[in-house]
Amino acid sequence: MNIIVCIKQVPDTTEVKINPETGTLIREGVPSIINPFDTYAIEEGLRLKEKFGGKVTVISMGPPQAMEALKEAVAMGADEAILLSDKAFAGSDTWATAYTLSQAIKKLGEFDLILCGKQAIDGDTGQVGPGIARQLGISQLTYVFKIRHLDPESRTIVVERLLEEGREVVETKLPALLTVVKDINQPRYPTFLGIRRATRMQIPVWGAADLPGADSSKFGLKGSPTQVVRVFNPPKREGKVEIIQADSVDEAASILADKLLAEKVI
Amino acid sequence: MPLLEINKEECTGCGACVSVCPFGALSLVDNIATVDDKCTACGACLDVCPVNALSLPERPEAAAEDLKAYQGVWVWVEQFQGEACSISWEMVGKGRELANQRGTILTACVLGHNVGHIAKQAIAYGADRVFWVDDPTLAVYRTQPYANVLVELVRQYKPEIFILGASSRGRDLAGSVATELYTGLTADCTGLDIDPETNLLRQTRPAFGGNIMATIICPNYRPQMATVRHRVFEMPVPDENRQGQIIPIKPNLSEDQIATKVVDFIRQQGEVNLADAKIIVSGGRGVGGPEGFEPLRELAEVLGGAVGASRAAVDAGWIPYAHQVGQTGRTVRPDLYIACGISGAVQHLAGMGTAKIIVAINKDPEAPIFSVANYGIVGDLFQIVPALTEQFKKKLRR
Ligand SMILES: Cc1cc2nc3c(=O)[nH]c(=O)nc-3n(C[C@H](O)[C@H](O)[C@H](O)COP(=O)(O)OP(=O)(O)OC[C@H]3O[C@@H](n4cnc5c(N)ncnc54)[C@H](O)[C@@H]3O)c2cc1C
């Protein structure tokens, strides 16, 4: 099994605090981490490798410091890593990101499975996975929370996808791209040996010149159809909480029930 | 490496840009703005600079006549097991408004098998024209045939705007279609409007787990595509007398060319899906264990609502992940959200902070959930929730 995992380094938005006075984000000291959903993708890749043999290659597009994320993935057990980093890639929206990643994947050669996270916790779009699948012309299975069955011989995979109404069981042919949700597994921690290996590993950095087959007008800002024109703080919720106090629980419950009925939300 | 150019001569070191950068990529060094590699070229800083010292490289512009060839507003009507999903009618309602503003027509794309009734409904809800694509291969949603049909239609009829509900299927589909068409796609919008000067679609969406909002445009590529969250736009009132044109389309699909097969569907037993739910009763660490969700379920049942959970309760294994509300779970927008024993961490608030009415029931009066709630009761949820259930049973005669 030749498995590729796409990972993004993101600011740990769970560490982001809001300044109560200005309502702006406090970003000081917010660490960069591997996008949490991508750690599930790495773990799933490692488990498949342990079961079927083969190798796991992690790939990330980002600034030079995204190297840390790749090293962490190697420390978890990934075999190889590639960093895509070039000024030409800067300012990519999801279209250009998917294009660039798929060009690099083409260069890597044959593969059986690509794993992505359901979405990145900063951009939050969940569009890069479907974008890569389409660029490569392979099946996409999004929101996967369980791989039920994988047969490298017949090259079929059966997964459960988490949808609004329940779980959908789908089968497709390899190669395929999966985006995974949180429930799929519990990611392992890096091991001591893994960390040693990661520290020593020379991770190749590819720039635009390393993707000669690509159309460079489709990279980065100039290849990106979307433009952010304004960034602002979300509107704050109006008003203050009304704390309901009463002599008994039943009375408090009755008051609350009346208020909610009056709000016409029931 | 960052693309942002800073004119050091002009910069006054006021720091306005530093405080708006969502990525913390800007700082003042020797009283001059300096940018590092965290810059994503998002452009948030450009407008706040009082002396216009910041700039990004120019992008190639499309020829105006190429863009003019694209006209009309389109909506994808999602169906599940032969019934239209309510999010799609919300899209039709908004699409109607956008079409009126642009002085153009609204087209609904109905894909499925034996879905003629949905095509008719689409007219009733506000479409002028329906592309009715009926085929056995489209009975159940699958990315490839659905995307291929829509890509073909867009190439042939060239809409200016194309919106889809940001359901799991909608996001799956839109990502594939926009990639093939090489156009922009804005995810998970909570606002859409037309810029009166440029006539461009302004697409507003939360990012960073709801911590910031961004307005995005797609000036040089068509169609302008967006997915929109559940329950953001009003459900229109259908008018059975509305007239429109239904155009049946025979797709060029054959089952043996579709790699993906849907084998089974396991419906959540007896539960309303969170995304569509008008009322959600949600539990956190305070419910104490799997059986602690029982009183919440009873309340949800009386109210006809769904049961949600915080990450803490899901991670503890008390309730399946499908119920998780928040940044790593689902984003919901109910009319009423009753948070029981939930402290209200930022990541949870990101998933439910836009609910119309929030009720917090918590022992800890300092819990952050109270700061976003409309109503609160400080106390033991195991007493309050059953009492509330009883009161509603009485008052609603259920
Ligand atoms: C405020 C804001 C709003 C934005 N809104 C939009 C928008 O609506 N539409 C749009 O097209 N762009 C948007 N962008 C740009 C977008 O964030 C970037 O294009 C980004 O490179 C990828 O999108 P994402 O973070 O949403 O990733 P997602 O698509 O959510 O990521 C899904 C998965 O793809 C893989 N992946 C994503 N990025 C990388 C990477 N760099 N390297 C390796 N693997 C990766 C990971 O497996 C990840 O889990 C926005 C940016 C900002 C700052």
Q: Locate B24 and state its tokens.
A: 């913390």
Whether the per-residue pLDDT at A28 is higher than 80: the answer is no
CATH of the domain at B27: 3.30.70.20
**B305-362, pLDDT tens digit by residue?**
999 999 999 999 999 988 999 988 888 999 999 999 999 988 898 899 889 999 999 9
Q: How many domains does chain B have?
A: 3
Contact by Cβ (8 Å): A74, A58: yes
Assess contact for B77 and B88: CB atoms under 8 A: yes
The answer to whether residue B32 scores a pLDDT higher than 90 is yes
Residue among B263, B310, B324 with most chain A CBs within 10 A, to mutate: B263
Q: Cα–Cα–Cα angle for B264, B266, B271, nearest 5°? A: 155
Rounded distance between C-alpha atoms, residue A155 and residue A164, angstroms: 29
Residues B244 and B292 in one domain: no
Q: How many angstroms separate the first and last alpha carbons of chain A? A: 53
- Confidence band (pLDDT; 50, 70, 90) for B98? very high
Asked whether B207 lines ligand 1 (CB < 6 A), one says yes
Structure tokens at B385: 């929730």
- pLDDT at A205 > cutoff 90: yes
Check whether B304 has a pLDDT greater than 90: yes
Q: Which of A10-24, A240-254, B116-130 has the lowest mean pLDDT?
A: A10-24
Segment A54-82 shows an average pLDDT of 97
Chain A residues in contact with B83 by the CB 8 A cut-off are none
Residues of B in contact with A247 (CB under 8 A): none
Q: What is the reported pLDDT for B163? A: 98
For residue B19, pLDDT beyond 90: no
Does residue B273 fall inside a structural domain?
no
- Give yes or no: residues B11 and B109 share one domain: no
Q: Is residue B264 part of a domain?
A: no
Does A26 score more than 80 pLDDT?
A: no
What's the confidence (pLDDT) of residue A237? 80
What does the pLDDT read at residue A233?
81
Q: What is the CATH number of the domain that holds B301?
A: 3.40.50.1220
User: What local confidence, expressed as pLDDT, does residue A22 receive?
Assistant: 59
Burial of A77 (0-12, 13-18, 19+ CB in 10 A): buried
Q: Is the pLDDT score of B22 beyond 70?
A: yes
What's the whole-number mean pLDDT along residues B275-288?
Answer: 95
Pick B356's closest partner by Cβ from A230, A243, A265: A265
The answer to whether position B342 is within a domain reads yes
Residue B133: pLDDT over 60: yes
Note the pLDDT tens digit of each residue in B49-64: 999 999 999 888 888 8
Looking at the structure, do residues B24 and B117 belong to the same domain, yes or no?
A: no
Torsion of CA B78, B83, B85, B91, to 10 degrees: 60
B102 & B239 share domain: yes
This prediction's pTM: 0.93
- The Cα-based distances of A111 to A120, A174, A184, A216 in angstroms read 23, 9, 22, 24
Predicted pLDDT of residue B272: 64
Note the Cα B241 to chain centre separation in Å: 30
Residue with the larger pLDDT of the pair A76 and B48: A76
Residue B113 shares a structural domain with residue B145: yes
**Interface pTM (ipTM) of the complex?**
0.94
Q: Are residues B379 and B247 in the same domain?
A: no
Q: Are A2 and A87 in contact (CB under 8 A)?
A: no
Suggest the residue from A227, A250, A251, A259 to mutate for an interface test with chain B (most B CBs closer than 10 A).
Answer: A227
Claim to verify: residue B183 and residue B293 sit in the same structural domain: no
Q: State the CATH number of the domain containing residue B200.
A: 3.40.50.620
Residue B149 and residue B228 share a domain:
yes
SS3 B19: helix
- The mean per-residue pLDDT over the stretch B129-142 comes to 98
For range B186-199, the mean pLDDT: 96
- Cα gap B186→A16, rounded to integer Å: 24
B218: which 2 tokens? 């797609």
Tell me the mean pLDDT in the region A73-99. 97
**In terms of domains, do B313 and B223 share one?**
no
Q: What is the pLDDT of residues A252-261, one digit of tens each?
A: 999 999 999 9
Give ∠ CA A220-B155-B236 in degrees, rounded to 5: 95
Residue B37 has a pLDDT of 87
If asked whether residues B75 and B194 sit together in one domain, one would say yes
Beta-carbon separation of A231 and B19 below 8 A: no
SS3 B329: coil
> Does B329 share its domain with B376?
yes
Domains of chain A in sequence order: 2-223 (3.40.50.620)
A115 CB within 6 A, ligand 1: no
Task: Give me the DSSP letters along A140-183.
Answer: EEEEEEEEEEEETTTTEEEEEEEETTEEEEEEEESSEEEEE-GG
The pLDDT score that the predictor gives to residue A25 is 63
Which range, A232-241, B16-25, B135-144, is most confident? B135-144
- The pLDDT-based confidence of A150 (bands split at 50, 70, 90) is very high
Q: Residue A266: which of B202, B303, B373 has the nearest Cβ?
A: B303
Q: Characterize the bridge pairing of strands A227-232 and B212-217.
A: antiparallel
Domain housing B10: 1-58
